[in-house]
Amino acid sequence: MTVGDRDRRIGPHRALAEHRKVVLWAAAVVILLCGALAAGALAGTGGPVSTGAPARTAGAGHAKRMGGASHLRRPARVRRPRLLARSGTRVRIGWRRAHRGSYAIGGYRIMRDGAVVGETHRLYYTLRVSTGRSHRVSVVAVDVRGHLGSPSPALTIGALHAPAARKGGAPSVPGSLSVSDIGDEAATVWWLPSAPGGARIVGYRVYRDDRLIGQVKSTSMRLTHLSSLRTYAIAVSAVDADKRESARTPAFRLTTTHTPPAGPALISAERVTDTSATLSWQAGSANGARLVGYLLFEDGKPSQVVHGQVVTVKLASQRSYVFTVRALDSAGYLSSPAPNLTVLTTHTPPSTPGGLTAGTLTYNSVALDWLASIAVSGRIVGYRVFRDGIPVGQVATPGLVLSSLAPSSSYQVTVVAVDSLGAISAPTPALAVQTTPPVQSHGTAQAFLLASTDQSFYDLEAHYQQIGVVYPTYFDCGPAGTITGRDDPLITGWSVARGIAVMPRLNCQNPGDENQILNEPAAQQAMISQLASMCSTYGYQGIQVDFEGAQPTERSAFTAFITALAARLHAQGDKLSTVVTAKYYNITSGRAAMYDDAALSVPSDYLFVLDWGLHWTTSGPGGLDELPWFKRVAEYTATMPNRSKFILGMPMYGIDWPGGGGGSNPGTPLEYNNVTALMSTYGITPEWNAEAADPHFSYTDANHVQHSVWYTDQQSVGIRVALAQSLGLGVGLWHLGSEDQSIWELPGLGS
C-alpha cells in the first residue's frame, strides 16, 4: 500500500518528540492509501500498492468478468499465433493470452487442420506435423466451465521440401507403343509411362521417321497430316527435369490401311474391396492380324497390357476410378474402347486399439498405454485420446501422458485409431482414472493475490509450496454493512486443494461505511453474518479485514468489532487476519490511532503490518521501506503481546520519479519486470544504497527529463525477511505477480 499524502511528515530522520508531525504522518498513511488506491493500484483492486492504473475494486472487477447469470460471455479470440521453433516433425507455437469472458481462462485447445490435437494452460505448445505437407494450426481459449472462444487466425505450417532427386540415371524406355482411332490422315499413338531415373518425368518426345514432331506431358498423342496408303515409323522417348532423355522405343510401323481389331462390348467389376478391384471384359476380335491382349486404361491413361480378360488392380481406399479397355492386335493397333466403368472402392476403419491401461498417476496427469491398431487399408497415422468424451490429444504411436487434469478427480478415458484416409476405429472400452491429491504446501509466507489479474494466480501456481496463507482481493464493504464482490472458484478451489489457507481481503476504506459498521449494531451484525456465511459457503479458512480511514475516536469501536467478528468466526472453526499500519510507538492521535495493536492481537489470529511507504508517488525519490525505518517498525512490533501473530508486510515493486518527484512531478509505480526493462532500454547498471538497503538508478528520457528509480529485489527483500525471522515475526508479501522471481530462492521463504 503506497502512501501518497503530501502532508505526511515523519521519516527516519525525525525525532519522536515532534509529536504533531508524527500525528500528521500517521494520518497520512491511511489518507494516502485511499487517495492513491482511488487513482489506481498496482493490484488494480484498491489494494495496498498504488500503481497509477485505473481504479477498480476486486469485487467489481471480478463481477464484471463473471457476468450475469443470464448472459454468458465466452473467452475472447486468441491473438497472434506464431511459430516459435521447428525440428523435424515437431513444431512449437506460441500465442498471446486471451481475455477472459464470464469465467476465468482454464486453458487453450490446439487444432491442427480442424482436429483437436491437444490442450494446455500455458502460452505455448509443441505438436507434431508431417514433413511432406502443410498444416493449418489454430488455438482456442477454453474457460474453467468448458466454454470455447473463437478460433485464432490460422497459422500455416509449411511442408519441408523433399531432398533433391539423386543425380544420374535417365528415365526408362516408355512401354507398349500402340495406336488407335486411325483415319486416312490421322491416328492416336499410346504408350505406357516411363519410370523416372534421377529426376521426375516432365514429358514424352514423339518421332516420326526419325524426325521429332512434338513433346507432350501425357501418354498419348494425336498424329495429324498423315497420308493414306502409307506406312510411318513411330518412336517415343521420355524426358526428365534434368533434360535427360531415355532411349527411344522400338519403331512402331503405322500404316493407314490397316483395319484395327474389334473391341470388347462390355467391362465389369467382379469384386471390389478397400484396396483392389477385379475387372473382366468380353473378348475382342482381330482383323488382318492376331489378337495379343488388351490395353487397360485407368482414369483416361493407359496402365498395363493384360494378356487375358481378367485382371486384379491395386487401388486406394474410398476412391472413385474410371476404367475402360481396348483390344490390342499383333500389329500394335487398338480397338475402340469399351464403355467406361466407374469403380468406387470401400473403406473399412482400422481395428480398435487394445489393452488400454493407466501407468504412473500424479495429481494432474496419467501415463496411458495401449496396443497398436491394425489398418484394414491405408495406414495408421495416429491415436486420438478422449477425456470424458472430449478429444484432448492425438499421437502417432501408442502411449500418451495425459496432463492438465484436476487433482483428486475421476475421468473416463477412451482411445480410437485414425488411418491415412481419415477413418476412425471404434473406441476402446472406457478406462476409469482417479488422480491423486496435489502436493501440499509447506510454506509459511503470507501473500496478497490480485483477483483482477491472471498473472497473480500464475505466480501462486509457480510458488505455492512456499505460501501458507493467501489473501485474494475479492470483496469490498458498502453502506449498511453490505459486501460487494465475488468468489473466484478457480483460485479458491486450487489453493484449498493444496493446503493453502484462503482468507479473502475485505477492503473497507470509506469513512461513512466504516462509521455505520462500527457504530450501528444492525449494520455491524449484517456484516459479521455475511462474512461468517461466506466462509461456510465457499470453504474459506477465514477472512482478512482491511479497515483504513476511521477516526481516532473509533479505536475502541474498531477493537470491539474485531473482537465480535473473531468470536463468530472462531465458533465455526475459521480465522481472522487484521490489517494495521506501520508505527514505532503507540500513536494515540491521528488516523493511525484507530489501531490498538496490543488489544487487537488478542482476538485476531494474524495482524498484518504494512511496513512500507516511507517514500510514495508524490514524495521525493527514495527507498519505499528504507532499512533504518523498517527496522524501527519491526522492533516495535516485536514488543507486542502475542508476537507470533504479527506478520511483517513487505513491498515487491518500485517507483519511477521524474524531475525530482514531488506533487508537481508524481512518480509511476513499476513492477519488477518494468524496472528491468528500463535498465535494458537505457543500458543501466543499478546501484546499491547500503544505508537504505535498496537498489536504485537514474536515467534521462527522450525528452531530456532526469528520472530516479527506487525498487526492491531479492537482496533487499532477503535482508528484511531475515530481520523479521530474527524477531520472531511472520513474513507477508504485497503482492504475487509483480516481484523479482528470484526472491523465492531465499531460505527465509522456505525454498
Q: Which of 186, 190, 200 has its CA nearest to residue 305?
A: 190
Least confident of 227-241, 496-510, 607-621, 692-706: 227-241
All cell numbers assigned to 727: 524477531
All cell numbers assigned to 749: 521463504
- In the chain, the percentage of residues whose pLDDT exceeds 70 is 89
Dihedral sign of CA atoms 562, 566, 569, 574 in order: positive
According to the model, what pLDDT value does residue 50 have?
32
Cell 522456505 -> residue: 750
The 3-state DSSP class for residue 630 equals: helix
Q: What is the C-alpha separation between 524 and 564, in angstroms, rounded?
A: 9
H-helix or E-strand spanning residue 237: strand 231-240
Question: How many C-beta neighbours within 10 Å does residue 331 have?
Answer: 20
H-helix or E-strand spanning residue 120: strand 115-120
Would you say residue 560 has pLDDT above 90? Answer: yes
Question: What's the average model confidence in pLDDT over 719-738?
Answer: 95
List beta partners, residue 449.
472
Reported in sequence order, the residue ranges of 332-377 that DSSP labels E, i.e. its strands, are 341-344, 357-361, 366-369
According to the model, what pLDDT value does residue 131 have?
67
In contact, 475 and 511? CB cutoff 8 Å: no
- 300 φψ region: left (φ > 0), alpha (ψ -120 to 50), beta (else): left
DSSP summary character for residue 455: H
Q: Which of 220, 177, 179 has its CA nearest to residue 333?
A: 179
Q: Distances from the Cα of 287 to the Cαs of 253, 398, 681, 685, in angstroms?
A: 17, 62, 91, 99
According to the model, what pLDDT value does residue 335 have?
93
Better pLDDT: 60 or 191? 191
Q: Distances from the Cα of 236 to the Cαs of 195, 332, 379, in angstroms?
A: 14, 14, 37
Would you say residue 236 has pLDDT above 80? Answer: yes
Task: Give pLDDT tens digits for 369-412.
Answer: 999 999 987 789 999 999 999 999 999 999 999 998 988 899 99
Question: What's the average model confidence in pLDDT over 612-631?
Answer: 95
Bond preceding residue 735 cis, omega within 30 of 0 = yes
Amino acid at 137: V
According to the model, what pLDDT value does residue 707 have?
98
Better pLDDT: 490 or 549? 490
Q: What is the C-alpha separation between 711 and 694, in angstroms, rounded?
A: 7
Reported in sequence order, the residue ranges of 362-519 that DSSP labels E, i.e. its strands, are 366-369, 380-387, 390-395, 400-402, 410-419, 431-434, 445-449, 467-472, 475-477, 483-485, 501-502, 505-508
According to the model, what pLDDT value does residue 339 have?
93
Highest mean pLDDT among 11-15, 55-59, 604-608, 669-673: 604-608
Question: How many C-beta neighbours within 10 Å does residue 397 have?
Answer: 9
CA 307 centroid distance within chain:
62
Would you say residue 44 has pLDDT above 90? Answer: no
Q: Distances from the Cα of 244 to the Cαs of 195, 204, 210, 212, 241, in angstroms?
A: 13, 11, 18, 16, 7
Phi, psi values for residue 529, rounded to 5°: -65, -40
According to the model, what pLDDT value does residue 384 have?
94
Where does the pLDDT of residue 157 fall: very low under 50, low under 70, confident under 90, or very high at 90 and above?
confident
Amino acid at 302: P
Strand 706-711 relative to strand 654-658: parallel, antiparallel, unpaired? antiparallel
Cell 478427480 -> residue: 409
According to the model, what pLDDT value does residue 566 have?
98
Dihedral sign of CA atoms 698, 701, 707, 713 in order: negative
- In the chain, the percentage of residues whose pLDDT exceeds 90 is 66
Where does the pLDDT of residue 259 fall: very low under 50, low under 70, confident under 90, or very high at 90 and above?
confident
Question: What's the average model confidence in pLDDT over 663-667?
Answer: 96
List beta partners, residue 350.
none
Would you say residue 17 has pLDDT above 80? Answer: no
All cell numbers assigned to 489: 472458484
According to the model, what pLDDT value does residue 182 have?
84
Task: Give pLDDT tens digits for 457-470.
Answer: 999 999 999 999 99
Exposure b/e, 561-592, CB count within 10 A at least 16 = b: bbeebbebbeeeebbbbbbbbbbbeebeebbb
Would you say residue 165 has pLDDT above 50? Answer: no
Question: What's the average model confidence in pLDDT over 7-24?
Answer: 33
Mean residue pLDDT across the chain: 86
Better pLDDT: 422 or 596? 596
pTM score above 0.75: no
Task: Give pLDDT tens digits for 316-350.
Answer: 877 899 999 999 998 889 999 999 999 998 888 99
Task: Give pLDDT tens digits for 469-481.
Answer: 999 999 999 999 9
Q: Distances from the Cα of 457 to the Cαs of 78, 342, 492, 745, in angstroms?
A: 20, 62, 10, 19
Task: Give pLDDT tens digits for 435-444.
Answer: 999 999 999 9
According to the model, what pLDDT value does residue 525 have?
97
Better pLDDT: 26 or 469? 469
Highest mean pLDDT among 41-45, 259-263, 724-728: 724-728
All cell numbers assigned to 69: 447469470
Q: Which of 461, 474, 467 has its CA nearest to residue 447?
A: 467
Q: What is the C-alpha separation between 613 and 39, in angstroms, rounded?
A: 16
Q: What is the C-alpha separation between 94 and 85, in angstroms, rounded?
A: 9
Q: Distances from the Cα of 509 to the Cαs of 62, 63, 490, 513, 548, in angstroms?
A: 19, 20, 27, 8, 5
Q: What is the DSSP string of 183-194?
A: -SS-EEEEEEPP
Q: What is the C-alpha separation between 36 and 52, in angstroms, rounded?
A: 8
Q: What is the radius of gyration, based on Cα positions, of the chain?
A: 40
Exposure b/e, 31-63, CB count within 10 A at least 16 = b: bbbbbbbebbbbbbbbbbbbbbeeebbbbbbbe
Better pLDDT: 246 or 71? 246
Would you say residue 14 has pLDDT above 80? Answer: no
Task: Give pLDDT tens digits for 264-309.
Answer: 989 999 888 888 999 999 999 988 788 999 999 999 999 999 999 9
Q: What is the C-alpha separation between 548 and 153, in angstroms, rounded?
A: 48
